[in-house]
Amino acid sequence: MKRIKKVLLTTVIFSILLTGCSENDGYSSSDISLDEVDPKENPYKSAGWYGKTVVSATTTDGTVYQHTTAGVFGELIQSSDDKDKHDIAGFGPAKLQVVFSHPEWSENNGYYFSDYRKYEEDVKKVWTFQVLNTYVAGHPDYGVDLADVTIHLDLTILNDVEYRDDRGKVEFKESTSTDDVLKNMLHLVDVDEQKVYTLVELKTATLTMAGKHTRTFRWVLGSVDNVDKQPLVSAQRAASRRSVDTDRQGFNISPMNVSTGKFGLPPR
């Protein structure tokens, strides 16, 4: 009997304690955090974006020439609209290549495989690039005349970029998906033919070298106006593009051999 009374008394006391916790303190299990530690802050911040221009040319016999290792352009908060370390100069002539031209850069005037500008939201940007076919009749390396072929320009990559700067150096990381907002803002201007294409229209556009060995185009981020259709101020000849008769050293050098970036070409 005494044992039964002890059990009943214990049960009553336990019930009172439970009632006190739930009604008087207003404390519930939902107030308990299972993770008291703050989530780790993402070390990467927005750096800008980049795209890569690929050109291919098809001859009448079906031979395809393509340049895929240059044509890189974009915006980075670490870059400027003038020449900076993210602008990689061209290495020399080739049968077919994409280069960015800068007659306004004075002593730095020439051909570049990449062209980065200062990242600024809602600011129009323009990149002038040229498709070059180095042709010398009878030359063992440059004897392919592509002046009358059909060409295709494709923006194979258009990705956002992030960076971190907390380990003694700037490190970049690109996104894995295309930036659709940029796709809608970019236009291709065919300067020689005075035509403008959206990226959707460019997929089915018929482009040719138009009897030339140098064709001039522009990527325009934003609205296109008449200034964007104007030809270059002067013909370009980069310091790195020596005469093909005296210097053939750069012909087989791929820009990927001196890549300075973990995305596209620059930067690293």
Q: Tell me the per-residue pLDDT of 158-180, one tens digit each, with 9 for 90 and over.
A: 999 998 888 778 888 888 778 88
Spatial distance between the Cα atoms of 122 and 225, rounded to a whole number of angstroms: 16
Sort 179 into a burial class: Cβ within 10 Å, 0-12 / 13-18 / 19+.
Answer: middle
pLDDT in tens, 30-51: 444 445 555 678 888 889 999 9
Q: Is 26 inside any structural domain?
A: no
Residue 37 DSSP one-character state: S
Number of domains in the chain: 1
Evaluate if residue 199 carries a pLDDT over 90. Answer: yes
Neighbouring residues of 222: CB distance < 8 A, sequence distance ≥ 6: 123, 124, 125, 185
Between residues 94 and 261, the one the model is more confident about: 94
User: What mean pLDDT is predicted for residues 126-146?
Assistant: 95
User: What mean pLDDT is predicted for residues 137-143?
Assistant: 93
Evaluate if residue 54 carries a pLDDT over 80. Answer: yes
Q: CA separation (Å) from 156 to 26, 120, 164, 203?
A: 60, 23, 25, 11
List the end-to-end C-alpha distance of the chain, in Å, as a whole number.
84
Q: Which of 43-47, 234-238, 246-250 has the lowest mean pLDDT?
A: 246-250
Average pLDDT for the chain: 78
Between residues 251 and 165, the one the model is more confident about: 165
Query: Which residue pairs from 248-251 have beta carbons closer than 8 angstroms and sit at least 24 positions apart in sequence?
Result: 248/92, 248/141, 249/92, 250/91, 250/92, 250/93, 251/92, 251/93, 251/94, 251/141
pLDDT bin (cut points 50, 70, 90) of residue 240 is very low
The pLDDT of residue 265: 52
135 close to 213: Cβ distance less than 8 angstroms:
yes
Structural domain for 141, as ranges: 45-258
Q: Is 11 inside any structural domain?
A: no
Question: Per-residue b/e over 106-138, b at no fewer than 16 CB within 10 Å?
Answer: eeebbbbbbbbbbbeeeeebebbbbbbbbbeee
Spatial distance between the Cα atoms of 131 and 212, rounded to a whole number of angstroms: 10
Between residues 24 and 251, the one the model is more confident about: 24
Between residues 127 and 69, the one the model is more confident about: 127
Spatial distance between the Cα atoms of 249 and 97, rounded to a whole number of angstroms: 16
Between residues 157 and 258, the one the model is more confident about: 157
Q: Is 86 inside any structural domain?
A: yes
Q: Is 156 inside any structural domain?
A: yes
Q: Is 51 inside any structural domain?
A: yes
pLDDT bin (cut points 50, 70, 90) of residue 234 is low
Evaluate if residue 138 carries a pLDDT over 50. Answer: yes
Handedness of CA 176, 207, 90, 138 (dihedral sign): positive
Evaluate if residue 21 carries a pLDDT over 70. Answer: no
Between residues 239 and 158, the one the model is more confident about: 158
Q: Is 32 inside any structural domain?
A: no
| Gyration radius of the chain's alpha carbons | 30
Q: CA separation (Å) from 100 to 56, 119, 237?
A: 17, 18, 12
130 close to 113: Cβ distance less than 8 angstroms:
no
Residue 193 phi, psi (nearest 5): -100, -5
The pLDDT of residue 39: 62
Evaluate if residue 57 carries a pLDDT over 50. Answer: yes
The pLDDT of residue 38: 55
